[in-house]
Structure 1
Amino acid sequence: MEIPIPHYPPYSSKYNPIGHCFFPHISSLCQGLIFESVQTVEDLMATATTRTGLKLLTTILYNTYQTGQKVALDFKSNLKIVFDEFLRQWNYTPKPQLQVISSTILRYR
C-alpha cells in the first residue's frame, strides 16, 4: 500500500494552513483553564470554530503501542521512496516493490 508521508519542517508552522486557521481560536479558548483530564482538552477542542464556520475534529488515541518491533531485514533495501516536488526533504511516498513468488502468488515487499 502506498501511503504519502508529509512532514512540516521544525519551527515552520507557516507551511501548515490548518494550524494557522485554528491556533488563535484554540488559544483564546484555553485562557485561564486548567486541563484536569484529556477529556477536558478534547471537549474544549471540539468547541473551537472559525468565523467562516470551520470546526475542529478531535480524536484521542488511547491505544498502547508495542515498541521494539523490527521489520524484515530486506524490507528497507527493497523499498522505493519517491520524493514530492514540494519540500522534497519533508514529503515522500514509500512504494513497496511487487515480488513474484510463483506464477499464481504475488507478495508485496
Structure 2
Amino acid sequence: MLREKYSEETEKQMKSFFDSLNEKDRRRYAAIEAIKLGHGGQKYISSVLGCHFQTVMAGINEITNGIKTPDDRIRKPGGGKKKIIDTVENIDEVFFEILKDHTAGSSMDEEIKWTNLSFKEISNAFKSRDVNISYIRQVDISFSILFADGDFEMMNPYCV
C-alpha cells in the first residue's frame, strides 16, 4: 500500500508540469515520481498524471536498465507504421500500370511526366486491382514516394 499521497495542489502542479513535457521526458518524470513513492507508486502516479500504467513501467525500465534513446529522438528508431511501399508487393508496378494511359510529357522538360488523375482516382484504381490501402495513407506515403521515383507530377485539370 502507498505510504503517502501528495496534496491536491501538488498533484495539480505535477500534472501541469507533466503535460508540458515531451513523450520521453513524461515517461522518465513519471518513473522518477513512482520510484520515489515505492510500493503502489506506479498506480498512484499513473492516476495523478493521467497516463497509462505501462508508461510509468516503461520509464522505470529505461531508468533502471540504462536504456537510452539518441539525444535528438524521443522514440527509439524502428517504431511506427511501416511504409506501404515496403509492405505491399508490386505496388510500384500497379501504380505505373494505373498511370500508363493517363500520362503526358512536359514540353519544357522531357524528364517530367504529368498525370491528370487525382489522388482519389488513383486510390479507386488501386481498389479495383484489389490493392486495398486507404486513400489518406496513399497520399501521405505511397504516392509521394512513387511520384518521386517515377519523375511524375500532378497536373491540375483546372489550369489552362
TM-score calculated relative to the size of structure 2: 0.18
Say which structure is richer in helix.
2
Say which structure is richer in strand.
1
Q: Highest CA radius of gyration, 1 or 2? A: 2
Which structure is richer in relative contact order (CA contacts within 8 A, separation 6 or more)?
1
